[in-house]
Structure formats: C-alpha cells, structure tokens
Structure 1
Amino acid sequence: MDADVYVTPRYLAGSPGYGDAGFAPVAHWPHHHLDEGPHQLVVTSPDHRIRIGWAGDDYDLWTISAAPHAVSGPQWTAIVNQNTPPELVAALTATLAQDWAAGQDRFLAAPSVYWADSVAPLAAAGWERTGAELGTVELAAPDGNAGVCINISRRDLEHGTQLWASPPGWGTRAEITFTPRTPSHLIAATAAAFTDPTPAARWRESLNPELTARANGLRESDR
C-alpha cells in the first residue's frame, strides 16, 4: 500500500477512506455493485451465506453477517463504523474466508459459554479488566486507548461484544459491534488484530490529529 507514514498501534490509525485491506481476503468471492439500498458493494461467499456490505459514506460503514441458508436471515451480524481501520476488519474477513473454504460451517458455530474465550488474545497481550456496569465485562488496553465491552446478561443492550479504539467522538471512535450469537473464534480473531504490532500504512494528510497525538509511533515511509 502506498503511504508516507506508518502508525502504531494500528488501532489508532483510523480509516484511510477505503476498505481495500478488509476486502483483500475475500477478493476472489462474488462482488455485487448496487445502485440502491444502504450498501454500494456487497461481497458474498459463493453460496451467499456470508455477506459483507460496504456502505461507502455511512457511519456504519461495514455490515458483515452469516446465515444458515442463502435466503434466511442472519444468525449473527457485525457492524463496523467509519473510523475503524480496515486492517482490523481484515482479520474477521480472513477468518470467514478460511471457515467457508474448510466446509465445516464453523462461521455458524454456537459461541462459547465462557466469555473469556472471545477475548483471549487481549488478555494474553496484557489487557486488563476495568470497572464495568452490572451485567457486563470490560477490558482495556495498557495504553487506555482501546477496549472491549462484553454483554453478559443485560437485556437492554443489543450488542453481545463491542471492540473499540480511540477517544469518543464522531470522527475518532472506532467500533466493531457483534451481536450475541457471533461465534467466539471470530471475535477472538478480530480482537487479535488489535494486538498485532504491524504498523498501519497511511498518508499523513488523512490522519486525525487527535489520534496521531495518542499513537506510540509514527514512522516516516522510506518511499
């Protein structure tokens, strides 16, 4: 990817304005370009049971879901907002592509009864539990700039697990929200991307100054 800076941690890189990295693992899947509806592009598995929608200019930029049958409603859904680095989305789409290719329908597996299974990569990377509201569990990254909220028993919350990064704000906060029936290994794969030390390549002019100020490293490209 062409860029003039590399950002670490990658979850503070923000979105470059396009989703190429997130679509790369499923580049070989059917692409459907739509003229109407909320999504400009929908990429599906060959059997149409996995759907990856790209809204282009909406706040909820990505809608990713899986269903038991091509014409049935989704069993689970992940919503990714417009500030989320596509490198984080790529971890989810890559795992979905692997699951589909394996032919075992693991992308429809029931989630683990143990909440810790879905965030094991975060605990291994030193993320620690923080104060949480009743019925939820929260972990935060060592730098305090990313976290996860897991809904254990609250019925007033629609989400099951939400990964977030960056300070609150329409132009800063990145969020990946999973519904309760999302397989634990898919959440874990996405969570692992938050701990990946690989920098995110960006053009300096596209970076949000507030995120740049919080980043641990901003290395100039050699190009």
Structure 2
Amino acid sequence: MNNQNIAQTFAILQENKKQWQDSTLESLEKNPFFILVGCILSLRTKDQMTRQVAERLFKIIRSPQQLLSYSEDDIAQLIYPVGFYRRKAKNLIDISKILIIKYQSQVPSTLEELLELPGVGRKTANLVLTVGFGKPGICVDTHVHRIVNRWGYVKTKTPEQTEMALRDKLPQEFWIPINSLLVLFGQNICLPRRPRCGNCSIENFCDQVGIEKRETQTK
C-alpha cells in the first residue's frame, strides 16, 4: 500500500465503521479530562470493559477536584476490574493533583507536558491531543502498529517507530482518524491471528505482509 490509494482506503474504512460497534474512547464525550482518564484506564484492559468503567466513573467524577474528593482506595474500587487498577488509581490521584496545582485544573495541551504526567506515554498523550483537543497527532496502539505494517505501508518494529514513520509518510488529514478506524478494523476484520481477508473491502490494497494464506478466514 502507498499514498496513491491511502485516501480511498480511509474512505472505505470510514464507511465500514458504521457497521461496527464502537466502544473506543473516541466515542466518549470530547472532554480532555475524560479522554485522559479513559486512556489511563484502557491500558492492559479490553475496550468494552474500559468503556463500561469509564461511563460509570464519569457519572460521579467530572473534574480533578471531584476525583480528589475520593481516597485512593475509593478510586481503586470505582475502576475495578480494569487491569492494574490500584496502580492506575494512584496515577489518577497524582495526575489530578498536578492538574490543579500546575495547570489550573486543566489538562495540558502539548505533547511534552502530557508526557510528564504519571502513567502517560505517547499513545495516551497523542489520543488526548487528537480527540480531546482536535490537534494533530498520531495515536499508535497495537492495532495501528500491526495493520500499517501488514499493509506494507511502513516497516517498523515498535509502536513508537510506527508513529514516527507515519508522521513522515501519512498525509496529515488522516492523522486524527487513523486510530479509531484501525482499532475497529483490527477488532472486526484485520485480526491479530487469522484475519478475515475474505471479508476485507480493502484487500486489493493490502500487501498482506507476514500473512500465510492458510492463516486467513474466508468468512
């Protein structure tokens, strides 16, 4: 795959997205604090569980001040059963304190500032920038990393390498939508194992790097 057919690929995936149940964080309210907290919760946790816990949490907590009105143990119980819930509870408490003291209770809007927050890596920081603030950024998770390499669009070993390669190659108009589109595509069609190539509407554009024909599903 190359930039000659990338626009058509994204248009097809955008249309296909209507058929798939969207449990990604991007379907939440576009509030930077919600996106930040939701992304912290999502690490090592399935999207559907993250969405359920986030929606439950945001019914009672909508700001750093409200979060700090609960103890660390209370937060841990509220976000259970997400993975590493006790560590995440501590990070959420620490992040809320920093937001109040350093940023007047607002979520910072630069990559550098976001990366200084406890438990925040490039994936989380980029998602907050793109979804929370509508700023240019490329959020690369395991789905994005796997799929763009499978397409043959990039050739990288890690998600961070993939982000940098996409920043160099991918037209900026596709930076923000790439994560939500490829997460849903990766959950429904381009699976990690036995991808459903027979049902893939962009199969003709895909180099199928690393895929043996016997590994694919026809339905």
Structure-1-length-normalised TM-score: 0.29
* Structure with higher strand content: 1
Structure-2-length-normalised TM-score: 0.29
**Structure number with larger C-alpha Rg:** 2
* Structure with higher helix content: 2
